[in-house]
Structures are given as C-alpha cells and as structure tokens.
Amino acid sequence: MSLNTTRLDRFISQHLSISRKSVRLMLAQNRVSVDGIVAKDIGLIINKFSLIHVDDVVLQEKLARYIMLNKPIGVVSATSDEQHKTVLDLIDITNKQDLHIVGRLDLNTTGLLLLTDDSRWSKQVTSPESKVAKCYTVTLKYPLTTQYISAFEKGMYFEFEDITTRPAILEIVSEHVARVTLFEGRYHQIKRMFGRFRNPVLKLHRSAIGNLILDERLAEGENRGLTDNEVKNIIT
C-alpha cells in the first residue's frame, strides 16, 4: 500500500482514538461518508485527498493542487538546487515543498511545466502506457527538409539505451522551425534526434501536454492553477 493511502477503518480509528469495531458500527449506521458518498466498506482505501465526514464533522479535507508554469531559460526543473534558480522559486504558495514536477524540462528549454502534489495524477500523465502527447516548437541552426518527417515517423535507434523511439510527428513550420510531437520522454530526445542530422537545436519550447495547451497569457516565470476540466481532460 502506498504511503499516501490507508484503509478507511484504520484512518478513523487512529483519528478518533476508537476501536475498529466502533468504526464498523459507524459504517453500519451510515454515519461515514467519503467524497460525498456513504461508506459501507471498512477496507475502503482512501488517500490524503479523500474528503471524509463522520456525522457532520469533517475529519479530512485537503484539496490537491495542479499548477501550470511557463518555465524560462536558466531555471532548473527541480525542487532544490545549489547553483540555479528552481521552478519552486518561481511559485509563491503555502507548503510548496509538497509539490513535485510532472515531466521535467532541460535547463535551457522553455514552456509548459506542470507541478502537483497529487502523485496518482502525475503518474497517470507521465506513464508510458498513457502515451500522452507532448508538443514542442524547435528552432534549428540549419534548414529542414522532408527527410526529417519520415525519419521522425519511423523512430530512431538509441544505442546507449538499446531502444528505438516511438514514432514522432514532425511538421515543418518554416525553414528553421519545426513542430515536434512526442509520445514518450527519452533523455534529451529531441536534441538527439536532430543530432542524427547534425543539426543543432537553438531553441526548444514545450507548448502542450496532452490536451493541455500553455496559457499564452502567462509571461515567462508566471504560473496559474489548472481548472477542474483541465485536470480531468488532459488525457483523452
């Protein structure tokens, strides 16, 4: 069982300093609700964000936080760093140390970065099985050709990891600018893929994760909370 989850009867027993037998009686009397639903199962697994009532008393009410940040260049995707400013340094909320990053960006990569204290949600977004698309705008040193499109679509073999990347979508926006959509997140993947063409990446900007698009109203370094619909619908 995760450190962030526990059984309902254990939680109530510890919180109210009563026996689990007494908790069973409470459930039988329909006195306990979890997330607005009357609880019947003493073995129900709850987490730190479950809303728990006994009678009319709230035993636990903690809302998960979901944040969109427009990451600037030179800021580290980390919660602490001795040399560089971190993304947490850009956020001014209470208990921000409880947040973690949902898919990192390199030091010199800009754009959409997500933070949350809901580990279940972040695992769903970053899980390879979810195949959540991530869209990037890439500025390159040398001109693009149509050869790039087919090469990205086929995937590329990375000898160090002994893997072939999943098919990626490359759209040529202009002579030196491409829009790339990945369905995974290998180490420096975009730079390494363009490296096969010996074409250095000059700028890299993430504009979208799944159905979530970076809010254009956010200046670099600014952030805002996600709406309920954005949280629910980031994955189709």
Please give the pLDDT value at position 2. Answer: 53
Please give the pLDDT value at position 56. Answer: 85
Q: Are residues 94 and 150 in the same domain?
A: yes
Whole-prediction pTM: 0.80
Q: Are residues 165 and 188 in the same domain?
A: yes
Contact 174, 203 (CB under 8 A): no
Residues lower than pLDDT 70 in the chain: 1-3, 236
- Count of alpha carbons within 13 angstroms of residue 107, beta-carbon side: 5
Q: Are residues 177 and 209 in the same domain?
A: yes
Helix (H) or strand (E) holding 193: helix 189-195
What is the residue range of 29's domain? 5-60
Q: How far is the C-alpha of 184 from the C-alpha of 134, rounded, in Å?
A: 8
Q: Are residues 127 and 20 in the same domain?
A: no
Q: Are residues 52 and 81 in the same domain?
A: no
> Number of folded domains in the chain?
2
The one catalytic residue among 9, 55, 92, 106:
106
| pLDDT, tens digit (0-9, with 9 covering 90-100), for 88-106 | 999 998 888 889 999 899 9
Please give the pLDDT value at position 95. Answer: 83
Please give the pLDDT value at position 179. Answer: 98
Helix (H) or strand (E) holding 12: helix 8-16
Q: Which residues partner with 169 through β-bridges?
A: 181
Q: Are residues 55 and 119 in the same domain?
A: no
Q: Are residues 146 and 186 in the same domain?
A: yes
Question: Mean pLDDT over all residues of the chain?
Answer: 92
Q: What is the phi/psi pair of residue 168, to 5°?
A: -120, 155
Q: What is the CATH number of the domain that holds 37?
A: 3.10.290.10
Please give the pLDDT value at position 70. Answer: 97
Q: Are residues 194 and 219 in the same domain?
A: yes
| pLDDT, tens digit (0-9, with 9 covering 90-100), for 135-171 | 999 999 999 999 999 999 999 999 888 999 999 999 9
Q: Are residues 52 and 83 in the same domain?
A: no
Q: Which of 135, 159, 139, 126 is nearest to 214 (CA)?
A: 135
Q: Say whether 228 is catalytic.
A: no
Q: Which residues partner with 114 through β-bridges?
A: 68, 102
